[in-house]
Amino acid sequence: MQKVLILDFGGQYNQLIARRVREQKVYCEVHPHDMPLEEIRRFDPIGVIFTGGPGSVYLPDAPKVDPGVFELGVPILGICYGCQLMAQMLGGRVTAAQDDSAREYGKTPTALDGGCALFAGLGGESVTWMSHGDYMAAVPAGFRLAAHSAACPTAAICDEARGFYGVQFHPEVEHTERGRGMLRNFLYGICRAAGDWTMADYKAQAIEAVREKVGNGRALLALSGGVDSSVAAALMSEAIGERLVCVFVDHGLMRRNEGDEVEAAFSKRELNFIRVNAQERFLSRLAGVEEPERKRKIIGEEFIRVFEEVAHEVGAVDFLVQGTIYPDVIESGQGEAAVIKSHHNVGGLPDCVDFREILEPLRLLFKDEVRQLGRELGLPEALVSRQPFPGPGLAIRVIGAVTKEKLDTLREADAIFREEMSRAGIAADQYFAALTNLRSVGVMGDGRSYDRAIALRSVQTGDFMTADFSRLPWELLETVSVRIVNEVRGVNRVLYDITSKPPATVEYE
Ligand code: XMP
């Protein structure tokens, strides 16, 4: 399989570059900019992309790349900071834009030279997304100009003899109108990619790799019924068969019938499926706890305790399998971000149990690739295309202290909402009900009620880092509201959440 190497200089859009490359059926990996030359050689890329980054190439501690990368004989595409770095390292000059007019941020009309292989078939005036305060004042020997904007004469450069291309703008961002075409030209026209990245091949390779690693050993996997752990289970099962044990901890914070559905979906497969009913245990640890972060911590810890106990009962297990996916891998390589919520999922499992090693068979895949792999492995579509469900489950959708009665109320309301959404055929990325801690007065029949309020939440999002509330049809909201108030005891009011993220988050706690 051919590989493209993406060297990371700390830009905001680095994951997006990787996704755009893989979208075009070319495999790529993101590695730190200081990857040693020997490793780059071993990686054996058909092309290299330098990402953008927040630094300035002329500052003393600016991130650099081993200059040997320019001698490998493979094409290089530098994006923004990556373009400036290439220019500077090959003898050009980069400076801070002297006056504000030379800085460019946002959508910028740019003239592209269709004679440059990067812009073949894309020449002429077009909008690109710029975000730079520095610019190339002098282009290195051997390069020529390939694009310009009103403020920047050096919007793109190329040295076609050596296969080096640099763009000041971001082709990976949607706002760059012909960005996909440019990346396609780089991959297919310049790097001569064959487009050989397919899930069927990946599946075969991943199974082979697991077999080689595990040998005759046994592996334990925490199965939540979510997409990642389910796909990991299916892959592991195909690789090592009955030497896989899957543990499903039912913490009683699942949606209606979910525990039974997970059991039904997985106990028939040969997964040595173990269901642990730990509902009482979780509820008693959560009794009276209102603070969201404490709830999350308690659930995370209790999960680990239960899991450890089962692991000891099962005994003699060599490997622990985690459903880590590529965005987690890329993100964990970067600086500290503020903790908004401490995420708990079955991926955050113990170092405290005795395992020889941790296996992460999905660690190179993006979410949509995980779903595709699930289809390749024959998992049902309903499972593969599930919306995300947080590790702490309904505990963070019951605002304030959690009780069995409140969970039951929420489960009923949530099931109605989900049922009506699917009946109406509405495609939202995530939608659910939450039980607020608001009580309010209503009138039912001829009497006064003083009952709870349910909040409905539905969002459209690509990456869950930001999200827009869904503009659901009034008729649908009305049906859901009428059904919830009529069918769910103790609820007399239904609210629809019209806040986006930011400033709100998707979940309430
Ligand atoms: P927030 O509420 O942070 O949610 O906007 C973003 C996405 O993450 C999911 N989420 C979690 N997933 N463990 C998970 O596996 C968690 O602890 C957790 N908390 C939030 C949330 O459902 C949404 O999809």
Q: What is the pLDDT of residue 336?
A: 40
CA of 221 to the centre of ligand 1 (A): 21
Q: What is the pLDDT of residue 335?
A: 42
> For this structure, is 172 an active site residue?
yes
Q: Which of 28, 33, 80, 158 is catalytic?
A: 80
In ligand 1, the atom with minimum distance to the C-alpha of 467 is 5
CA of 390 to the centre of ligand 1 (A): 5
- The verdict on pTM exceeding 0.85 is no
In ligand 1, the atom with minimum distance to the C-alpha of 507 is 2
CA of 273 to the centre of ligand 1 (A): 26
| Closest C-alpha to 169, from 181, 159, 156, 151 | 156
Cα(145)–Cα(129) distance, rounded to whole angstroms?
18
Three-state SS annotation for 365-429: CCHHHHHHHHHHCCCCHHHHCCCCCCCCHHHHCECCCCCHHHHHHHHHHHHHHHHHHHHHCCCCC
Q: What is the pLDDT of residue 341?
A: 61
Pocket flag, ligand 1, residue 506 (CB < 6 Å): yes
CA of 465 to the centre of ligand 1 (A): 10
Pocket flag, ligand 1, residue 430 (CB < 6 Å): yes
CA-closest residue to ligand 1 atom 11: 390
Would you tell me the crossing angle of helices 258-267 and 227-240 to the nearest 10 degrees? Answer: 20
Cα(85)–Cα(92) distance, rounded to whole angstroms?
9
Q: What is the pLDDT of residue 337?
A: 45
CA-closest residue to ligand 1 atom 22: 390
> For this structure, is 261 an active site residue?
no
DSSP state of 190: I
CA of 296 to the centre of ligand 1 (A): 11
> For this structure, is 80 an active site residue?
yes
pLDDT, one tens digit for every residue, the chain (509 residues): 899 999 999 887 888 899 899 999 999 999 999 999 999 999 999 999 999 998 899 999 999 999 999 999 999 999 999 999 999 999 999 998 776 666 788 889 999 999 999 999 999 999 999 988 888 999 999 999 999 999 889 999 999 999 999 999 999 988 899 999 999 999 999 999 999 999 998 899 999 999 999 999 999 999 998 999 999 999 999 999 999 999 999 999 999 999 998 898 888 878 899 999 999 999 999 999 999 999 999 998 898 889 888 888 988 889 989 888 887 776 665 444 455 666 665 545 555 556 788 899 998 898 889 999 999 999 988 889 899 999 899 999 999 999 999 999 999 999 999 999 999 999 999 999 999 999 999 998 889 999 999 999 999 987 777 789 999 999 999 999 999 999 999 999 999 999 998 899 999 99
Pocket flag, ligand 1, residue 347 (CB < 6 Å): no
Q: Which of 104, 132, 158, 170 is catalytic?
A: 170
Pocket flag, ligand 1, residue 464 (CB < 6 Å): yes
In ligand 1, the atom with minimum distance to the C-alpha of 508 is 2
Q: What is the pLDDT of residue 90?
A: 97
Q: What is the pLDDT of residue 355?
A: 75
Pocket flag, ligand 1, residue 497 (CB < 6 Å): no
Which residue among 293, 397, 506 has the greatest number of ligand 1 atoms within 8 angstroms of its CB, and so is best to mutate?
506
**Other beta carbons less than 10 A from residue 372's beta carbon:** 19
Which residue among 341, 394, 458, 509 has the greatest number of ligand 1 atoms within 8 angstroms of its CB, and so is best to mutate?
341
CA-closest residue to ligand 1 atom 20: 390
Which residue among 325, 339, 343, 509 has the greatest number of ligand 1 atoms within 8 angstroms of its CB, and so is best to mutate?
343
CA-closest residue to ligand 1 atom 10: 390
Cα(20)–Cα(43) distance, rounded to whole angstroms?
20
Q: What is the pLDDT of residue 100?
A: 61
User: Are the C-beta atoms of residues 24 and 39 closer than 8 Å to each other?
Assistant: no
DSSP string, 232-278: HHHHHHHHHGGGEEEEEEE-S-S-TTHHHHHHHHHHSSSS-EEEEE-
Pocket flag, ligand 1, residue 344 (CB < 6 Å): yes
Q: Which of 28, 83, 104, 172 is catalytic?
A: 172
**In angstroms, what CA-CA distances link 129 with 82, 103, 144, 187?**
15, 12, 21, 20
Pocket flag, ligand 1, residue 505 (CB < 6 Å): yes
In ligand 1, the atom with minimum distance to the C-alpha of 340 is 3
